[in-house]
Amino acid sequence: MRRVRRFTIERVSPTPCPYTSAHTPLHCDTFASACTHSVARILLTALFVLAAGGGFLVAGYGCMQTAPAPPMVYPDRGSPLVIPYTRTVGRKPLVQLAVAAAAPLMGYVAERVGKLFPETTTGLAAAVRCKQVVGDTFMYPTHEQQRCGLRPNDSDAGSIAVHQLAMRLAGHLHGMGNLRQIAHHQYCAIHLDSDDAEREHGCPLTYALYHERSVVLSGEMAARPMRSSDLVVFEHENGGRCVRIQTACPHHIAVVILSSDTNLHANVFPDSLQDGGQAETPPGIALLRLVPYGRKGIDDFVAAVERQPELWKRCPNFHSIDIPTVP
């Protein structure tokens, strides 16, 4: 069984406080709270402008077959491969703002993961960032975006190297009444992400809980404000034993490292469907989930190009490829 690992980063301040200088060391309590608050606000607007639905978006590089057929390369061995392209939604200004706000949180988490589980960040960098021919062309968000506002760090532990980033918002802050009616119908049924790229040492999922200062929690709510956001992870692709992980941790950022292509996983179904399943959560509490991952199709393309570098010269500029994808 591959280990499913969970840890929390230092206490998070309930009061947002933006960072000041790109070369000023950041403490998790200041940085995480400010980033979570800003992304929650941006996602609220992006929900209606982009019709992403439910406070959820996915951006980065895609590799799916589409109609009409996307540009492809034809390696000497194997089947034709789709040239990775930028997902259309990632070109939307509000999505770009949301990703830019969240990317430094990924960089901060990468540093902590690199200290505790260096094999994870090393494996991610080797697969996406440190390729001889394509380099880090298909890394999203970029290493530079993830280091924005943080001390320079070009090591493997300076960023989470992946192809795509999914962002999901649960709960709601004051002034987000419209989102509350739809954002919570986003339960994650038990599933396996079979198209995610294989990463032997997993990929870190980040959960940042934002707590508005005016909200006072007591009793069980103070310790577990969003029980239905818990993550259940099984030991292999067919199920087996499982663990239930609390992801909404007051005053903490929670990080879960797992292999989404080999471990069945799901959210916990809420105790009640009243108010979209979030009647237990008062206004002023929001949970930001960052789910970075690689794509098998992009791994296959990169592997073919690394074996046959002339294929890279035949590729059109991928930045000009803009193929709509189904959300």
- Quick one: how many helices (H) and strands (E) in the chain? 8, 13
- What whole-number distance in Å separates Cα of residue 275 and Cα of residue 310? 56
pLDDT, tens digit, for every residue of 137-173? 999 999 999 998 889 999 999 999 999 999 887 777 6
Q: Do residues 227 and 233 make contact, with C-beta atoms less than 8 angstroms apart?
A: no
- What whole-number distance in Å separates Cα of residue 187 and Cα of residue 170? 10
Please check the confidence at residue 293 and state whether its pLDDT lies above 90: yes
Please state the pTM of the whole predicted model. Answer: 0.81
Number of other residues whose CB lies within 10 A of the CB of residue 127: 23
Query: What are the structural domain ranges in the chain?
Result: 5-315
pLDDT, tens digit, for every residue of 296-327? 999 999 999 999 999 998 886 653 344 333 33
* 176-204: average pLDDT: 74
Rg value, the chain, Cα: 20
CA distances to 70, 235, 276 from 296, in Å: 17, 21, 34
How many residues belong to the chain? Answer: 327
pLDDT, tens digit, for every residue of 78-134? 899 999 999 888 888 878 878 888 888 899 899 989 998 999 999 999 999 999 999
**Structural tokens at position 51:** 């019709």
- What whole-number distance in Å separates Cα of residue 207 and Cα of residue 131? 29
